Structures are given as structure tokens and as C-alpha cells.
Amino acid sequence: MNKYLPKIIGSSINFISHISTPFAVHLAFQLFSRPQKGNAKKMDTEFLNASIQKELHYQDISIMTYQWVGKKDTILLVHGWESNTSRWKKLIELLKTLDYNIITLDAPAHGNSGGTLFNAILYSECIHVVAKKIKPAIIIGHSVGGIATIISQHKYSLPSVKKVVLLGAPSNFTGIFDRYKSMMRYNKKVSNGIDQFVFNRFGHLPSYYHIHNFSENIHSQGLVIHDKEDRIIPYSDALDYQKHYKNSTLISTSGLGHGLKSKEINAHILDFINQ
């Protein structure tokens, strides 16, 4: 049933668009922005209880943060869609042995943070709230957490941030929305309406959100790691970063998929941050 569910929902929203396009577009964007809690990875309560937990706030959203105290540089870890702080467990354990000061956050509508809706622009503001307070020297972002970090740094250019690591990160919004529209098989009314909805909500069309528009304001040294067989975010996005994020290095992997969880990946990260 799951295989056919997007088509069924998409067909229903397409039908509604013939009655009320604005309402259909609203439903489509709500669906796009609402994480499926049941599919999110479980929280590792025992692991998280060993951290110092604090809530920060962006507007009416509570942002849960976790800290493992260390004497070296502060590192901020930013997870991706339908995930949470627990995805960083093995990397955190390695960073702890090196005495880094580690801080993570759960995204809006994820983990122990508040809210019901999620998008990369909202996430970028939450990242800024945390980063402004803790002044990290290094930010490591996975998937949408990566592009949200880039958007945040483009807008605010926090001087404390010297290095950025992007793991399987999308380089643009156009591809993200195109894949969503294709999966749901939306008609032109809904597809075009989504673009206009983004413009009305955020002041820019999806095409604006591309690394080539953001790289000039980002002076941090970058490490981009992307798997050539990533089935969620295509490898071409990594090549966008290689082209436009001038102060970055691309490491390509094969067979690790979108999650990029392995000793090999952690070794690349440690080599980069220890330089």
C-alpha cells in the first residue's frame, strides 16, 4: 500500500485543485513540511541523558539542545529530515575522546523539539539561535541540515564558524521540490502553486535557494562528503558545491548511501577538524 500512497494522495490533491487551487496548494505544502513521526529514528534516551539538556526558543518553537562538555573547540551537529540527535551517537563518542565541546539540536518537529512543521528555512533560523549563543568553531550538517546551515551562514555570517562539514547535503531547493512533485504526480496547477507559495511565504522562488547564490557570504573552510550512489540527494548536488563553494573540498564515496554512517566517514571528519 505504501508504494501507491503518494499517487493516491497526489491524485486527491490534484482533484481538489480543480475546485480550489489555493487550498490544494496549501495541502501539498503542509504534506511536504510535516515529518512523519512514526518513521523517525527512535531517541536513544540513555545516551542523551548523559548530556546537559537546555531549551532555546525561536518564535514559539522550543529547540532542544544537548551538550557534552569538552575543553577544545565547540562543534555544533545538525541532523537531517526525520532524524534527531541520536544519529550522531558514534561520532559524538569519538569527539568526546578528543575533548571537543559538543552541542547538538533537534530540528523543529523532530526529536524533543517543539513544532509540527519543518522546512530548511525555518531550520536555518533555529540553527542561528543556537549558534549565536554557543559560538561554534565547527558545524557539521547532514542532508537538509547541511543546506540549512549554509542558508544560516549566508544570512548571518557568524565569525566564530571556521569550518563546515556537509554530509549528503542538497545544494538547491529546485531539485528537492521537483522530486517531491514528481513523486506525488502533481498537476501544473499544484506544481506551479507550490513555487508561488514558497515565494509568498519566504520572498523568493525555490530557484533562489542554490549554493551559487550563497557561497560569496560563506568564508568558512568546507568539507563536502557525498556518496555517488545516494538515492535521496543526487551526487550532482555535491558537484554544485565543488563548483560554487570555492573554499571547500569534496570527498566522494561509493556504497555508503545517503546516511553516510561509517568509520571511514568519521575518519574524514576527524582529519578535517583536527587540521
Please report which confidence band the pLDDT of residue 2 belongs to, taking 50, 70 and 90 as the band edges: low
Mean pLDDT of the chain: 93
The pLDDT of residue 223 is above 80: yes
Which CATH code for domain 44-172+209-273?
A: 3.40.50.1820
For residue 218, what pLDDT is reported?
87
C-alpha angle 198-202-205 in degrees, rounded to nearest 5:
50
Please report which confidence band the pLDDT of residue 1 belongs to, taking 50, 70 and 90 as the band edges: very low
For residue 179, what pLDDT is reported?
94
For residue 33, the one-letter residue type is S
More confident residue, 216 or 267: 267
Please state, in angstroms and rounded to a whole number, the distance separating the CA atoms of residues 110 and 122: 13
Please report which confidence band the pLDDT of residue 37 belongs to, taking 50, 70 and 90 as the band edges: low
The alpha carbon dihedral of 244, 245, 249, 254 has a sign of negative
How many residues comprise the chain?
275
Please report which confidence band the pLDDT of residue 234 belongs to, taking 50, 70 and 90 as the band edges: very high
The pLDDT of residue 39 is above 70: no
For residue 42, what pLDDT is reported?
67
The pLDDT of residue 191 is above 80: yes
Please report which confidence band the pLDDT of residue 40 belongs to, taking 50, 70 and 90 as the band edges: very low
- What mean pLDDT comes out for the span 13-37? 92
- What mean pLDDT comes out for the span 167-178? 96
For residue 31, what pLDDT is reported?
93
Please state, in angstroms and rounded to a whole number, the distance separating the CA atoms of residues 207 and 227: 24
Residue 125 has, within 13 A of its CA and on its CB side, a CA count of 12
Backbone phi, psi, residue 41, to 5°: -65, 145
C-alpha cell of 23? 487550498
Residue from 34, 130, 118 nearest 74 by CA: 130
Please report which confidence band the pLDDT of residue 62 belongs to, taking 50, 70 and 90 as the band edges: very high
More confident residue, 40 or 187: 187
Per residue in 251-264, pLDDT tens?
999 999 999 999 99
Please report which confidence band the pLDDT of residue 46 belongs to, taking 50, 70 and 90 as the band edges: confident
CATH 3.40.50.1820 domain locations along the chain: 44-172+209-273
Per residue in 65-109, pLDDT tens?
999 999 999 999 999 999 999 999 999 999 999 999 999 999 999
The residue written with cell numbers 493516491 in the block is 8
Please state, in angstroms and rounded to a whole number, the distance separating the CA atoms of residues 44 and 258: 21
- What mean pLDDT comes out for the span 5-28? 94
DSSP codes of every residue in the chain: -TTTHHHHHHHHHHHHHTT-HHHHHHHHHHHHH---GGGSPPP-HHHHTTSEEEEEEETTEEEEEEEE--SS-EEEEE--TT--GGGGHHHHHHHHHTT-EEEEEPPTTSTT---S---HHHHHHHHHHHHHHH--SEEEEETHHHHHHHHHHHHH--TT--EEEEES--SBHHHHHHHHHHHHT--HHHHHHHHHHHHHHHSS-GGG-BHHHHGGG--SEEEEEEETT-SSS-HHHHHHHHHH-TTEEEEEESS-TTT--SHHHHHHHHHHHT-
Whole-model pTM above 0.75? yes
The pLDDT of residue 122 is above 50: yes
